[in-house]
Chain A
Amino acid sequence: MGEIGRILLVEDDLKDVELTLTALDEYNLANEVIVARDGEEALDYLNRRGKFETRINGNPALMLLDLKLPKVDGLEVLRRVKCDEELKMIPVVMLTSSREERDIVESYKLGVNAYVVKPVNFHEFVDSIKELGIFWAIINEPPPGSVKKA
C-alpha cells in the first residue's frame, strides 16, 4: 500500500472530526491524522509554533480544511499557506458544507487543490473522504519534505 503521509484535518466540529476519522478509519487511513480545531492551531502546527514547537520538522502530505473556523477562518489559512514559500506546496482540499459560489471561486483563486462539499448522506460522505484519502495520501506523490509515516 506504500507509505501513508500525515494528514492535517482542520475542523472545529468534534462530530465532524469523529465522522471523518471514522470514515478514514474504515479504509485504514486514520493513522497519523493531526486534528487542528481552529485556523490558528492549524497555522501553529504548520509553522511549528506554540504547542507544536517541538514537533518533528516537515509538512503534512495533505491538509483537509474547513471553511468556517473559529479565530482564523479557512480562507485565511489557505491564503497564508499559499503565500508561504515553505508551505505553498502542501496540497489543500477544502472540505466544507458550503456550496456557495463565492466560497468556491475564492478558494480556487487562492490556489486550493480541490473543493469538496460534505454530503449530508453518510455513505456519500464516507466515499468522499475515502477517495480523498486514497488519492492525496496514497496515489498522489507528495511534495518533497512532507512528513512520512514513522
Chain B
Amino acid sequence: MKNILTVGFKLSVIWRYGLSVILVVIALVLTYLMQRAFSIPFWFLFLAAIMVSTWFSGKGAGIFAVILSTLVVDYFFTPPLQTLSLAPENLPFVIQFVLAALATGWVSSLLQEREHSLRMVQNELEIRVKERTSELENMNETLVNQIAERKRAEDALIEHAGLLDLSHDAIYVRDMNDVITYWNRGAEERYGWSREEAVGKVSHRLTQTIFPTSLEEIAEDLLHTGRWEGELVHKKRDGTQVVVASRWSLQRDDDGNPAAILETNNDITERKKAEEEIRKLNEELEQRVVDRTKELEAANKELESFAYSISHDLRAPLRHVVGYAELLQKSASSTLDKKSVRYMMLILESAQRMGNLIDDLLAFSRVGRVEMQKRMINTEQLVQEVVSETKEDTEGRNVVWRIGSLPNMYGDRSMLRLVFENLISNAVKFTRTRAKAEIEIGSIDGEEDGMVLYIKDNGVGFDMKYANKLFDVFQRLHTSEEFEGTGIGLANVQRIIERHGGRVWAESQLDRGTTFYFYIPNPQEI
C-alpha cells in the first residue's frame, strides 16, 4: 500500500503541482470576478484551493499552493497592484493571509493524514479479511477434497468388500487373537453363520478346526514367511465336516507389527472324496492285478504240473507197450506168421511215433513256459554252429551253402538256436530231392527298429494257399512217407519269434523253393 502511494506521489508530481497551479488560478479568476461583481475579495477561495491541494496532493503541493496564493494575492490584490512589492500597511494582511493559508493547509494536511491512516487501517483490515477468507477457502477446499477422497476410499472399500462377497471361497479376516473381524458371504454360505454371528468369535473355536500340524508350527511359518497354505478340516454350523484348502496371509501395520490374518478357504471336500475314490479304485485295480497275476501264476503252475505229468505218466505206459511188444516179438518170433510180425511192427512204430509226439509237445510247451534270458547274440556264429550240425544229414549230398553277413541280434540264445535248427533242417530236408541243393541265409536291410533274416532253399516248396496252416501245431503239408516229421518245428519257431516280439512268414512256390523270413526287434532303449 505504502509503495503504491509513494509510486502515486512520484508519478503524479507534475500533476499535483499542476493541480495546485490550476486551483490557485481558478481561485484567482473567481476572486477577481467576485471582486468585480461584489467588490469584496473572497480570500477563502484561495484557502479552499490550498485546502484542496493539500488534501489531494499532499503537504508539498499545499505549501506550493500557499506560496503561489500568497504571491498571487500580493500581486493582484494588494496595493501596489501588479507588483510583488508590498506596502508596509498591507504586511499584516499578508501575514494574516499566510498564517491563515498555512493553518488551512495544516488542518487539511492533518485531516488528510487522519483520513489516510484510517484508509490504511481499513485497507489492512480488508487485506486481513481477504487473507483469512482465502485461508478459509483453502481449508474448505482441502476439507472438501479430503471428504471426497474418503468417500472414494469408502466407495472402493464397499466395492472391494462387495467383490469379496462375490467370491465362492470363504474369506474372513481375524486379528492376532483369532477373533473374526470380517466374514464374507462365501463364508456365510460355506459355514452357515451370518456375518453378525461370526464377527467377534474366535475363528478356530467357531469352526472346530483340525490342523495338519501343530498351530504353533503354523503360526511360526506365518510370522516368518507372511503366508501359510494347507488343508484344514472345519465343522459347519450344521455339524457336517468340510475339507478346505486354506490360504493365510499376514497383514502388518505401518510399524511392521502383525495386525491381522486374511484367511481364504476353498472347499475341496468333493475333490478329496473323488481323490479318495480314485485312490481306492487304484488300490482295487492293483489288488486285481495282484490277484490276476496270482491266478495266472497258479494257472502256469498247473500247466507245468500238467506237462510234468504228461512227461512222466504218459510215457511210462508207452514204454511198457514198446517193451512188452518187443519182448513178445522176441519170444514168439518163431511161432508168429508173417502177418502177425507185421502187426507187431506196426504196434512198435505207432508207439514210437506217439513217444515222439509227446516229446515234441513237451518241448513246445516248454518253449512257451521257460523264462527267456535275452542278450546280444553273434548271429553268424550261431548259424555256423547249426549248419555244421547238419553235416550228418547232408553227407553224400550236393548242398551249396550261401551265408551272407548277418547282424547280431538280441534274444535268448538257446531259443533262437532252436529257430535256426528248425528252419535250416527244414531247408536241408525239403531239398533232399534236388540234385544240387541251394540254401541261402541272409539279412534284409530296411527295418529301422529290428532286423529281418531269411533262409531260402530251392526245395519242393508248398502251395501258398496253405501258408496260413504252416505254423500250426502238428500241421503238415507233406505226408510222412515223403518227408518225416511231427509238424511241431514251425510251431516252435513261431512261438519263439513271437515271444521275442517279432514275426515269421514264408514265401513259396511249388517245386521252386521256399523262403522263410523272420523279424526280431532291436533291444528297447531304456
Contacts and interface: CB of A to CB of B under 8 A. Distances in A.
Interface of A: 13, 15-16, 19, 22, 67-68, 96-101, 118-123, 125
A122 B316 contact: no
Contact of B316 (A13, A99, A121): A13
Interface stretch (B8-16, B66-74, B322-330, B497-505): B322-330
Nearest to B356: A120
Contacts of B307: 100
Interface of B: 307-308, 311-313, 315-316, 318-320, 322-327, 351-352, 355, 359, 362, 366, 370
Contacts of A16: 316, 319-320
Given A22-B327, A97-B316, A122 B322 contact: yes
Contacts of A122: 319, 322-323, 325-327
A15 B308 contact: no
B319 A19 contact: yes
Contacts of B316: 13, 15-16, 97, 118
A62 to B, nearest CB: 21
Contact of B312 (A97, A101, A119, A123): A97
A16 B315 CA distance: 11
B312 A120 contact: no
Contacts of B315: 97, 118, 120
Which 5 pairs between the two chains have the least Cβ-Cβ distance?
Answer: A120-B355, A122-B326, A122-B323, A19-B323, A97-B315
B312 A96 contact: yes
9 contacts: A15-B316, A15-B323, A16-B320, A68-B312, A97-B319, A99-B311, A100-B308, A118-B316, A120-B315
Contacts of B318: 120
Which residue, A99, A118, A119, A122, has most C-beta atoms of chain B within 10 A? Answer: A122
Nearest to A99: B311
A120 B311 contact: no
Given A13-B316, A16-B316, A68-B312, A125 B359 contact: no
A118 B370 CA distance: 23
A16 B322 CA distance: 12
B324 to A, nearest CB: 8
Nearest to B316: A97
A100 B322 CA distance: 22
Nearest to B351: A120
A10 to B, nearest CB: 15
A102 B318 CA distance: 23
A147 B370 CA distance: 43
Which residue, A22, A119, A121, A123, has most C-beta atoms of chain B within 10 A? Answer: A121
B311 A118 contact: no
Given A97-B311, A99-B359, A118-B315, A15 B352 contact: no
Contacts of B362: 99
Nearest to B358: A120
Contacts of A119: 319
A150 to B, nearest CB: 29
Given A120-B352, A123-B326, A100 B311 contact: yes
Nearest to B359: A99
A15 B352 CA distance: 18
A122 B327 CA distance: 9
A101 B26 CA distance: 160
Which residue, B308, B319, B320, B359, has most C-beta atoms of chain A within 10 A? Answer: B319
Contacts of B308: 98, 100
B319 A98 contact: no
A76 to B, nearest CB: 16
A20 B323 CA distance: 10
Which residue, A67, A100, A101, has most C-beta atoms of chain B within 10 A? Answer: A100
A20 B319 CA distance: 11
